[in-house]
Every structure is written in C-alpha cells, then in structure tokens.
Amino acid sequence: MLTSPLLPQTLGYIAGQWTRGDARSTLTVINPATGEPLAEVPDMGAADTTSAIGAAARVMAEPLPVAQRRDWLRGVSQSLLADKQEFGRIITLENGKPHREGIAETEYAAGFFSYFADQLHHLGPEVLPQPIRGARWTIHHRPAGVAALITPWNFPLAMLAKKIAPALAAGCAVVVKPSELTPLSAIALCAVLERVGVPAGWCNLVCGAPGPIGDVICSHPAVRMVSFTGSTRVGKLLLEKTAPHVKRLALELGGNAPFIVFDDADLYAAVEALMANKFRAGGQTCVCANRIFVQRGILDRFTQAAAQRVSQLRVGNGMDPATDIGPLINRAVFEKVERHVSDALKKGAACLTAAAVTRADSSDRTWGHFYPPTVLTGIRPNMALTQEETFGPVVAVIAFEDEAEAIARANDTPYGLAGYVFTADPQRGQRVAARIQCGHVGINTGTGPTPEAPFGGMKESGLGREGGVEGLLEFCQTQTVADK
Ligand code: NAP
C-alpha cells in the first residue's frame, strides 16, 4: 500500500471534513505497472454528492474577497512546487507514467495556480466610458455558481488544476469527481488546498463510480457549471443530461491529432518533435499525434528515422529512471491499442519496429499492460486507427502528395483538438494552420497547451477553453448593471 506524507488519508472531502460519507464499499486503486493495490478509497454515491453540492452552495452565499483568492492560489502553486517529487511519485504510482513526467505534470499544474492568481483583475468590474440613456453602465463577471469538475486518469493532477484554479479565482465553490482509476493525486491536491487555508466548503471531493455521482451533478439545481475532461462519448452524455437544466458546460474531449510533415521540413527536428509529442504518457494524451501525414518525397527517410528513434525507447516501471514509457493504464486501453494495430496489419499496413504485441504474448498477463512502441506505415483511411484516437504508443504514418490533400485528410474526422504542421515555408505553415480545424495548432513544434493561452477543441473535441483569460471567464457569468 502507498504511504505518503501528502496522503494522510484516502477519503472524500466534504464541508471541510475528510469522510467516507455513506459509502458501503471501497474502490481499490491499482498501480498499473505492477498490479499492486495502492489504496482503498470510499465508493461514494448520490447522497454524498448531494451533500458536497449543498456544502458548496452554502459557502457561495458569502463571496470570497479577491485578495484572499489570490493568496490561496499562490500558496497552492508554491506547495505543489515544494512537493513536486512526491506529487510526481503519486502520479507515477497511480497512472504509470515515468516519474520525471509526473514531476513535470506537477510543475505544469502549479503553473495554472500561479497564472490565475495573476489574472483576477480581469474580473472587473468594467464601467462603460460614457453614460448611455442617462445611466451608468457597469459590466461584472460574477461567479458562475457551484462548479462540478470531472477529470480523467491521464493527467490526474494537471487536468484538475486547470479547473480548480480558475474556478476558485472566479469565486466558484467546487465539487470534484476524479477518475476512479487515479483519485490519489486529486485527494493530495485537496489536502494542499486545506493546508493553505481554503475554508471548508469551497472545495469538496467525492470519489466513486461515475454513474450516480454524474447523475446528481447533472440534475442538481445548485450546480450551475459542469467542467469535464474526458471522452467525447461521456461529454455527449453530459450535454444530454444537463440540457433540461440549462447548465454551463465546458467540455475538453477526445482528439485525433494530425501531424503533417512536408518535404521541405527539417526532418530530424520533426522526428524529435514527434517523439516528445507522441510518447508523453505512453501516447495516452488527447493532444498526441494520432495520424502522421508525411509527404511522399521524404516518406522513407522519415519513417526510417522515426523507427530508429522509437526502437531506442525503454518500456518499464515509471519509477525506474531508465524508463521512457510506462504501462498503459488498464486492460481496456491495452486492448484498444492491440485492436487498432491488428486491424491495420490485417488491412495491409507494415510494422517497422520490433513487433506488435500479439494476444498470445499478452493475454496470460493480468497486470503490466506494457505495449511496445510501434511504427506502422501504409496506413489507409479504412483502418480504425485513422478514425479513432488510439491512445497508445503507436506511430501511424500516412503518405500524402500535396498540401490540399494533407488539409483535406487532416480534417476528415469529427474531432478537432490539436494539429501540427512541419515545413520550412512560414507562409505555408500559417496557411495550413488557418485551414486545419483544430483548437490548438503547432507550427514546427509538437508542444501542447500552456496555462497562459486558451486551449480547447473544435468540432466534437469540445466546448469552451481552459487556460488563458478565456479559461477564467468560463467560470463567470456576465452581469450588466445600468444604474440611473
Ligand atoms: P472518460 O471515460 O470519458 O472519463 C472521464 C471522466 O468522466 C472520469 O472521471 C470518469 O469516471 C467520468 N465519467 C465516466 N462516465 C461518466 C458519467 N456517466 N457521468 C459523469 N462522469 C463520468 O475518459 P477517460 O477514458 O478517463 O479519458 C480519456 C479521454 O479523455 C480521451 O478521449 C482523451 O482524449 C480525453 N482527454 C481530453 C483532454 C482535453 O483537454 N480535451 C485532456 C485529457 C483527456 P471514471 O474514470 O471513474 O469512470
């Protein structure tokens, strides 16, 4: 079992109390690298979610002074940085990613708290420069109301930081529901909020299976904002369930990122960018390249260079400093990757790396969902891995002839989260960026989001933005006061 000074208990947190609530059973948190149990957390449900929402609604009756919000946000950022090694260890143990990535995730999470601490002046109020119809007009950004925050397992700390920091900055009390696979980082973060002095009721946490918790969040009248990161499937479900109650929604959903490399690109820089982008968290990120479009003239050189780099990656336990790629989070994710690769091979793709895992290699192992990094070429549109995000360490290379074809194929998906273009021609870079339907575009870089800039999806990849001033205003409702 995991022992950590950051986790004196592994319970829910409601109205300032660490609690099992009404849970009659527990959920076991498993280390995906070893199959060992790390902790038991209470399987809380509808009654506890109602209590958590009630606690949040009660404290919101009295707004928090802005200066106090700023101090808490700064305090959380400093605590995360001070404990980044240990936070990184918790992330690695429950998620599987290499420890250095867990530390980097903690630094990234801290960045959201410090960034939003510095953005409170955007909340206004703003007075229009001259009277209109004899009245003075003032625009306020009021807190949206109680905000429910639902987060996935792939960045168990950062995905929550992106939501809690702007929510508290905006003056919203929150109810947090982390993934049942990775609740420990969220529990440790709530403990930090408690330590820096965020008063009881402003941050509440319920652990448990998603159905009953989600249903209360969607239907309870006091929840005015639902901020969700996860799959497009569940995002659509939340849209349906909240529609009758007209709640604000921010949805950060799935991607199917195109990574386009033109003949004139710096080939080795593009390969290095692909390595950093594709293999972070073992390929289990929403922004990682899913379809690698390479122009015909450099196709062979690019795929050989990529295959050579990929074959150097070391797969193993994330706590081993030599590890580049940890295990996939669970059997279901492993089987999806396996299905995508075998479907592609069956339909004529070629594998340029050691070997794709076969069912015979893997089915006798209950734990340790280690998938070997794989490079495939000859990918065609009828293959599953071009249509859905693979969420695993697979580089799927697709040949293209010209710019128009690259753009058309990049956009041939219902998703539109991140996209990348590599070219020596700056005008072409800008032209392609303007035409690919993605909320985040990298030109000659595979970098993902940053606290200072808005990030979010087009098409079925989501609604709303996280990060930047837009990320703060998501948690606000605008009120205009005409005062005569
Ligand atoms: P998921 O299955 O949709 O789960 C996400 C969260 O929703 C988890 O906390 C989950 O709880 C909860 N959930 C599931 N069913 C629910 C329901 N009926 N009501 C309320 N909550 C419910 O997604 P995932 O597999 O964890 O995460 C991977 C997906 O997230 C990928 O598609 C990835 O692209 C996307 N993602 C997007 C972004 C972005 O910024 N756009 C960032 C990261 C990940 P349990 O885990 O307890 O089941």
Give 182-207 pLDDT, tens digit per residue: 999 999 999 999 999 999 999 999 99
**CA 10 to ligand 1 centroid distance, Å:** 21
At 368, is the pLDDT very low, low, confident or very high (cuts 50, 70, 90)? low
Residues annotated as catalytic are 252, 286
Residue percentage of the chain with pLDDT more than 70 = 97
Q: At 354, is the pLDDT very low, low, confident or very high (cuts 50, 70, 90)?
A: low
Exposure class string for 320-350: b at 16+ Cβ within 10 A, else e = eeebbbbbbbebebbebbbebbbebbeeebe
CA of 437 to the centre of ligand 1 (A): 22
Burial of 364 (0-12, 13-18, 19+ CB in 10 A): exposed
Q: What is the pTM of this model?
A: 0.97
User: With 70 as the cut, is the pLDDT of residue 17 above it?
Assistant: yes
| pLDDT score recorded for residue 341 | 95
* Ligand 1 centre distance from Cα of residue 182 (Å): 12
Mean pLDDT confidence for 345-357: 82
Of 26, 154, 280, best ligand 1 pocket probe by most atoms within 8 Å of the beta carbon: 154
Atom 10 (ligand 1): residue with closest C-alpha? 179
Whose CA is closest to atom 15 on ligand 1? Answer: 210
Tracing tokens 């305090």 back to the chain, one arrives at 75
pLDDT tens per residue across span 395-445 = 999 999 999 999 999 999 999 999 999 999 999 999 999 999 999 999 999
Q: Which long-range contacts (CB under 8 A, 24 or more apart) does 362-367 make?
A: 362/334, 362/338, 366/35, 366/331, 367/30, 367/32, 367/33, 367/34, 367/35
pLDDT at 367 over 60: no
Looking at the predicted structure, is the pLDDT value of residue 46 above 90? yes
Residue bearing the CA closest to ligand 1, atom 27: 230
Residue 357 has pLDDT above 60, yes or no: no
Neighbours of 460 (CB within 10 A): 20
